[in-house]
Structure 1
Amino acid sequence: MTEPSGSGTPRIPLPRLLDTLVGVGSDLDVRATLQHVVDSAVELTGARYAALGVVDSARDGLTEFCTAGMPEAERARIARPPDGTSGLLGALVRDRVPLRLADLTTDPRSCGVPPGHPEMRSFLGVPVLAHGEVYGNLYLTEKRGGGPFTDEDEQVVRVLATRAGVAIGNARLYESARQHERWIEGAAKVTTALLTGTAAADALMTVAECARVLAEASAGVILQPTPDGGMEIVTASTPDDPGDLVGTTIAPGSAVLDQLLGGEPVFVEDSATDPRMTTPVRHRFGPSMLLPLQADGRLIGTLALPRRRGGRPYTPVERLLATRFASHAALAIVLADAQQRREWLAVFEDRDRIARDLHDLVVQRLFATGMMLESTRRRAATAEVPEPEVHTALGRAVDELQSTIQEVRTTIFALQQTPADAPTSVRGRVLRETACAAAVLGPRPSVRFTGAVDTLVPEPVAARLLDALRDALAAACRRTGTTRVGVDVDATATLPDGRAGVRLTVTDDGRPGGPGAGGPDAEGDGTTVTWQSPL
């Protein structure tokens, strides 16, 4: 039951007021808290309309406008929400004291009402303080019953505003902590993605996509300097088709370009109307951040994060976090590029070593074969050598030449493999195993393939073949005096039972090791290992 107040207005029951105040602080989401405040104000005071405008301290206006009591159809008729720079709302932003009017239309400060706004008479405005600063203003209009707002209404709204300030302050702290956490996690993901071998174009897209999601932007755009002194969009991430964003340029001489090339961040409230923005796509966007991607004094490019036209402006916290993210991403791009260059350098050094080894091997074999042919020719000319021996010597020479050609082909195949990719073919995996064994053996094993190994050998058989190859190479490493290892993979072999199969033969010139030296050929002479399997 309510009791009459001195003004004749029903007094609000204390339990109801307390329940409302407790409910205002029950949500840690800022926007949900704002909506709860305006809904509670309508319920407690009997106002028809309520709104809470968030103050932008940078320009003494309003950045957000949360309303209650206004149907969607009425809200749609309003061309734009009040900006708080003029009229009664502007006065409340500047004066920061409660304001109560019986008829706002008679106040000389009443102006700047946007088209489509419903007519209003009674008015009550109270500032909302959060952690000692004016966060926004709570507005109430049109007291139901036609009367003005009372002293008690003002007291209730001031209590509600005080409680709302505490709740909003807590919600802002929580939201700020969550924002920091999300941006830190995003920066870590970008670093991980870039340092795992991502290509340059993919690296830029990774940065643009991650930043767009974190900033809740309409697009994430990467611009890079052009030879003529301008900047060009080289990467664009949008929820939909980026359309003609990629390839758009900022011409030299633009005011915003001077700041970007100088490594300074640029913050734009409305890209469509800001005179510094000269790109042909600026009319699509509103609030924007353009952040330099700079590391080690070198400007890699610019990260642009535009929001849609009429979208929520970026807060100081969002600007700070995005700037830090851009610096972190630029450093990650530089480190990833340096890592990729080191990997390529290692590949080129290894290829130089392979070329030297191949040169020595080919020259030695060709020289030995040439000497053997020259000796055979001279002896045959003097009729000192029987014809069968001549044919045998020529056969050995042909075999040596074929083996040399096979070595050259195998090495060329290995050099054609993409350095960044692990081999997936049977041939490539065999070459990788022999290359690894060379680090222990010293000499690089010679490898010869017969038949279409990659086509004929299925994966299960290939896995067993590689296991046998590893065992054989390990046994060769344990033997002493090994100076030469040969690996022969024949995919056209015929097994003893007549079936088609694959045969692996590993030969070496080492001597068996001491006791305990195991391996597939521990009981033999330690020079040949043979493994075969049907296909």
Structure 2
Amino acid sequence: MAGREDAGPPLQRSGAAGAELSFPDQPRLELDQLLGQLVERAQEVLGTQGRLRDLLRANQAVSSELSSAGVLERTADVARDLIGARTASVEPAPPSARGPDRPGPPAAGTTARGSELHVPVQVRDELVGELHLVDSTRGGFTAEDLELAQALAVTAGLAVANARLYESARRRGEWLKASGAITRELLAGELAGTGALELVARSSRDVAGADVVAVLRPHQAGRGPRQLCVEVLVAAEGVAPVGRSVPREGTLLGRVLDAAEPISVADGVLDDEDGAMPWSEPEVGALLAVPLRGSGAVLGVLCAARLPGRPTFTDTDVEMAAGFANQAALAIELAEARAEQQRAVVLDERERIAADLHHVVVQRLFSVGLGLQGVLAGLTDRRTAGRVLATVEEVDRTIEHIRRTVFPLATARAPADPRERVLDAVVEAGAVLGFEPDVRFSGTRTGLLVEELAEDVAAVVRAALLDVARRGRATTAAVDVVEDSDGLLVHVRDDDPQGPDEFWPVGEELRHRAERHGGSCTVSPTSPVGASQYWWVPRR
């Protein structure tokens, strides 16, 4: 009995122990939750790793693009797949939104159309675009989506900067190639004038990516306003510009010419005052104008423009356009130098011909004429004397014809000062006279009439002195050129003991030159000896 009583408590303890082991629910529940959380965390880690791998692939895809526009377009495509948006786009920033003072982009938010993300794409402090993501395929954008979009935008900004460097290097290479080709053409002399300028304009258009390029030169017609006239106008395919002159005063191109500094204007910034373009159509947006700097002065302006909506010209564009402008200036100076050289060759040849005719033919004819006049003085037969006189007159007409041909050739580079032209005419006639005539001027230093009639005055002095030489009896001669309030007088006198001849071969030419200006011409004997030839035109 005792044994059975002693056995009771152990059974109770065993039952009690069994009762304690039958309640393991709370620890088991905590373990299940922990295992579930571990699974969830592992799934999140795996998901995050997958999205990070997707981000790396997206970064590689964006970085592989070599153009700014391609980078922005590829960014929108990969952002849509990476973040799970139904619509994705990158809007280029307008010029007014660029720079450190631009307003910040809107934050992520929810609209009536669904969730949206707006993330800026920047290159340093410059806003180049904004990434727009609309309507998440997962029900709404999360903070993780925003972080991924921001990381992708940073990569896009770096890719845009690299694309710009690549584009700049590529265009510099094109510029060097085009510059070398232009230099070879200029040095070879195969292109001159407008042809060389057209080559420069086309190269500027292709390298700078412009739609219209014009080369302008300053011009002023009389007392009218100063203008910039279009020398060359080229355009891209499908663009048909109509050229026109541009006022130099109060225009952007005029300021570039006067200040000799380049100007770049963004699309939509050019105001009406500055908007005088060297073409009436088409309308343009961004504009670039650089001066053509010559060795001593600004020779013109090179103007390049893009159609509305296209990007603004960069500093690299300005630098390259300035290089092409310098080559255009070189082409202009080379063309002018070659033209001057050609003129010098022609004038030298003319002077040689004139000198040969003057020193050989004219002097021989004068000798023949003077000899015939000596024979005529000893003839008593009127018929024979008449034939000899007719021969003398024919010789005089031949001399006059040669003189009209020779002296324009010899004086093709006559000095601008009318007094120097008169002195040159006296020197030329003195070689035939055998002595140097006296020359006096009065009122011609500041006179305007003698400048307008410089060619006529020099021709009159030359013809009158040659008439003195034709007579062959004078030992001295004097020339007076007087300008006063009434008009201009040319007086040529000599000491011919027989006075003027009845036959005055140069009289017709002198009268014609005087009557053309409303004047007159006379010849008369002087006292006690000599002849005076008067040529006068009134002041108008």
CA contact (8 A) 2:256 2:291 kept: no
Corresponding position: 1:30 with 2:28: no
What is the CA distance between 1:122 and its match in structure 2? 2.7
Equivalent residue, structure 1, for 2:180: 188
Distance 2:127 2:98 in 1: 11
Equivalent residue, structure 2, for 1:263: 260
Determine which of 54, 58, 66 is the counterpart of 1:20: 58
Distance 1:21 1:236 in 2: 44
CA contact (8 A) 2:240 2:282 kept: no
Equivalent residue, structure 2, for 1:46: 84
Distance 1:244 1:178 in 2: 28
Determine which of 256, 271, 274 is the counterpart of 2:271: 274
SS in 1 for 2:104: helix
What is the CA distance between 1:163 and its match in structure 2? 2.5
What is the CA distance between 1:197 and its match in structure 2? 3.8
What is the CA distance between 1:150 and its match in structure 2? 1.0
CA contact (8 A) 1:194 1:336 kept: no
Distance 1:301 1:290 in 2: 10
Superposed CA offset, 1:123-174 (max 9, x none) = 32333344x4445344223133484321111221222223323322222211
Distance 1:273 1:162 in 2: 33
What is the CA distance between 1:260 and its match in structure 2? 3.1
Distance 1:209 1:255 in 2: 22
Structure 2 residues not aligned, in runs of 5+: 1-39, 366-540
Equivalent residue, structure 1, for 2:167: 175
AA of the residue aligned to 2:214: V
Determine which of 110, 126, 144 is the counterpart of 1:152: 144
SS in 1 for 2:182: helix
Aligned residue-pair number: 319
SS in 2 for 1:309: coil
Superposed CA offset, 1:160-214 (max 9, x none) = 2233233222222111111111122222222323332423122222222221122
Distance 1:358 1:36 in 2: 82
Corresponding position: 1:91 with 2:128: no
CA contact (8 A) 1:234 1:246 kept: no
Determine which of 43, 47, 60 is the counterpart of 2:97: 60
Distance 2:157 2:241 in 1: 45
Determine which of 93, 117, 121 is the counterpart of 1:124: 117
SS in 1 for 2:134: strand
Change (3 A) 1:319 1:53: farther
CA contact (8 A) 2:214 2:230 kept: yes
Equivalent residue, structure 2, for 1:312: 311
CA contact (8 A) 2:65 2:71 kept: yes
- Per the normalisation by structure 1, the TM-score is 0.51
AA of the residue aligned to 1:297: G
What is the CA distance between 1:249 and its match in structure 2? 2.9
Superposed CA offset, 1:241-290 (max 9, x none) = 87662333336343552343332323232479622113572662111112
CA contact (8 A) 1:290 1:303 kept: yes
Distance 1:127 1:247 in 2: 43
Distance 1:294 1:318 in 2: 17
Change (3 A) 1:252 1:19: closer
Equivalent residue, structure 1, for 2:201: 208
Equivalent residue, structure 2, for 1:386: none
Superposed CA offset, 1:6-61 (max 9, x none) = 9xx987444333222222222323322222112111110122333334557x7433
Equivalences for residues 32-431 of structure 1 within 5 A = 32-54=70-92, 59-61=96-98, 90-92=103-105, 100-103=107-110, 121-130=114-123, 132-134=124-126, 136-145=128-137, 147-195=139-187, 196-227=189-220, 228-239=225-236, 245-250=242-247, 252-254=249-251, 256-270=253-267, 274-275=271-272, 276-279=274-277, 281=280, 284-342=283-341, 345=344, 349=348
Distance 1:244 1:169 in 2: 34
Distance 1:255 1:289 in 2: 10
What is the CA distance between 1:240 and its match in structure 2? 5.4
Two-structure CA RMSD over aligned residues (Å):
4.0
What is the CA distance between 1:235 and its match in structure 2? 1.9
CA contact (8 A) 1:50 1:138 kept: no
Distance 2:313 2:68 in 1: 15
Task: Give aligned-pair identity as a percent.
Answer: 28
SS in 2 for 1:38: helix
AA of the residue aligned to 1:321: M
AA of the residue aligned to 1:19: R
Change (3 A) 1:260 1:234: same
AA of the residue aligned to 1:277: G
Change (3 A) 1:204 1:240: same
CA contact (8 A) 1:47 1:143 kept: yes
Equivalent residue, structure 2, for 1:373: none
Distance 1:257 1:308 in 2: 22
Structure with more of its chain in helix, by fraction = 2
- Per the normalisation by structure 2, the TM-score is 0.50
SS in 1 for 2:285: strand
What is the CA distance between 1:294 and its match in structure 2? 1.8
SS in 2 for 1:100: coil
AA of the residue aligned to 2:242: L
Distance 1:197 1:359 in 2: 39
SS in 2 for 1:27: coil
Equivalent residue, structure 2, for 1:424: none
Distance 2:172 2:78 in 1: 31
Superposed CA offset, 1:402-448 (max 9, x none) = xxxxxxxxxxxxxxxxxxxxxxxxxxxxxxxxxxxxxxxxxxxxxxx
Superposed CA offset, 1:472-507 (max 9, x none) = xxxxxxxxxxxxxxxxxxxxxxxxxxxxxxxxxxxx
Change (3 A) 1:16 1:270: closer
Change (3 A) 1:171 1:358: farther
Change (3 A) 1:238 1:244: closer
Distance 2:283 2:101 in 1: 25
